[in-house]
Structures are given as structure tokens and as C-alpha cells.
Structure 1
């Protein structure tokens, strides 16, 4: 399974929604606290782009010379329609400063020096040390996951349904009232997670591991082919 640091880094580098919370700072509109861009520097610090007139930017600028704490909170929502769509949350806390000259005109770059981090997702809750976060690498499928899951759900629903044959005792009996809908919930280099929904109500997750970790979309296609072949046997 991916480490806690890798999972946290993957969420930070994904397109999941994020909000920067500065204690004591109130904003009129929630989107004023949402960075328009985010990246990670070589030392594990976060670089967050904001409109130059953002209340967050003003707070960081006025606090120069003082320690201004802040927390970036990320919410991961499944890109397909499924019960309980929130897949996880990540949190990176530290000290916020303005960095002039790094952003395009009309924007300001803020640097969040990572002091602590944590992730609470489909794998469970874990705290992450700043050094581990710095050294971790995001999952190679991160940039493609949304498109991949939506494609599997829309174009390969029949093949997804065959995965229930790999569930053993948890497989449905086959009658309409116990039919299992299989929705692709998450994919990473190690495997595919599927949410099975019984009769439109009760649901559970199953994890299907790949024979070996994949490094790109091409290897993922081959791994999925092997998985579907196993389900068809």
C-alpha cells in the first residue's frame, strides 16, 4: 500500500479542492481562502498562489517578521457517483509567508513551511513527519485518475460488474434484489478499489491488487486486462 506520506503528497498535488485556514482571519466568501494554484518545493514547503487582494495575502504580508500559522485542508471527493463520495482528507500545517516575485501579475505566492501533516482516507488515519512528506513522491496515476475512473464507470460497467466473481463469500446470489453494482472508487499504482452497492443501499469496498505496481497508464491498461480476465474465468 502507499505510505501515509505518499498519500498526503498525492492529495496535495492532485486537483482536489483545498482551503487555507489562518487562525483569527475571517473571509466574506469561502473561495477567498482557496488557492488558485499549489505546488511543492524541494524542501517540502507548499507554494500557494492567491489573488493579490486576497485577505490571506494581506494577512501574510502584514505579518512579515512575525510567525503566522496556517493550515491547508484538502478534501478528496470521488469523481464518480457513488454513496459516501468523500474519499479522504489531508491536512498540512505550518508557517505562512509571502514570497514576492514568484507569481504572475495580479497574484501573490505564499509559502507554507510544513510543520506537520496528516491524512485520513480510505486506508485510515496517519500522521506524517515533515521529512517524510518532503521525500515522498505522488502516485504516478494522480493526474489521470479522474479520467480513468470516469471511463471505467461509463464505458466498462459490464466488465466492472464481473469483478464480483472475485469476492468469494461476499458475492451476491444473482437475484435482482441482491444485485451488486460495482463502481470504481480509486486507483493507484498498486491496485483498484471498487465500491459494491447492494440493491442501491448497503455498500462495501473491495481492493484488487495488481500483479506488480504500475508506472504509467499503459501499464495500468495491461494490469486491468489481467484483472478482468481473472474475473471472467
Structure 2
């Protein structure tokens, strides 16, 4: 529902420099005007286009990675599921930065921190959920709730970042465990003392550490011979 490409411009430039890669900043349409699954399929089509344009634009089509934060993390995980299902190309890495992975659960039963004002409150998360996926039955779909996908084997390696105080913390933890149990290579790091949005809003030290981790992971996935 929120956000625009320019807010991620600095991070994209950071990845381009420190991971030595071409970065495409995807301007997918937002809810409620364009609810689920529009952003998922749009993002997949952009990724497919990037793959198809590799020869023309001069990069390696076999070294692709995707990533997103919050709702973008949900879209990233969903696109990775589509990549596995359609088998039109492969991914070297999926980066999930405090992702939303389960819209089927009751929001008030998520990781609520007592006596603390969370950045992503129960009320705000519930509002986003109803705007993005208005039909309750659709929230059970793996592309809306990747955590509910019955088979995660064969997915791209994943880097998952979670925040200690984040409402979405536990589903990120659970997704990391589920991926690992099904044979997917996973790196999961939780950042103590942080909340939802910390890689954008701070604290600075944690955000910098997270940016460095993401860039390093991208560089290793996209340039394995140089790692």
C-alpha cells in the first residue's frame, strides 16, 4: 500500500556498488487499487524481462537475485515460488528483509511486544492485510502467505532478516526453519533491539550491519568464483 521506488534508491545504489551487480528497482502497483495477486505477477514479469534482456543489455542471465523488505519481502518469497513452479529461469538468491509471510493468521496473535509501541502495530498490519488481500480465502494462497506453501524444496537460497521487536518476527523465523528443513540453503539473522523498518529507519548501526550483510550475500551469490 505504501512506498515508492525513490525511497529505495540509496539502498539500490549501495548494492550496485558493493555487490557489483546491476540493480532493477521495481515500481509495482499498490493496493487497494491493485490488490493481490497483481504485484506478485507484475514483479515476476519484470524478473522474466530482466532475464530475457540479458544478451541485449550485457549481463549474465544465469545470475539473478531478488529481494524486498516487509510487503516487498512477501512478494519476493512469492516470486521465488513462481520461479520454482514455472522453471523458466533460476535464482541465485532471495533476500527477505523482515518479510510478511503469513496473512492467514489472526494479526493479534502475532508477535506482540507488551508495553512497547511497535512500528507495525496490530491495527496497522490488519488494515494493510484487508486492503491487499480483501478476500479471507485468498490469504491461504501460498503467493499471499508463502509460509503456508506445502512444498518449499528446490527454492532459491535465502537470506532472511528479522527484527527482535517486529510484529512479523516469528513468521520470518518459522520460514527460515521450514526452508532449512526442506533442504534450502538459508542464512537467517535477527537484529537485537530493532523493530520493523529498521533497515530504512535505523538504528544506524543495525541498519548498516544489515546493509553490509545483504550486499555481501548478494556478492557471494552472484560472483561465486570471487567469493
Q: What is the TM-score when the length of structure 1 is the normalising length? A: 0.21
- Higher relative contact order (CA closer than 8 Å, sequence separation 6+): 2
Q: What is the TM-score when the length of structure 2 is the normalising length? A: 0.22
Higher helix share: 2
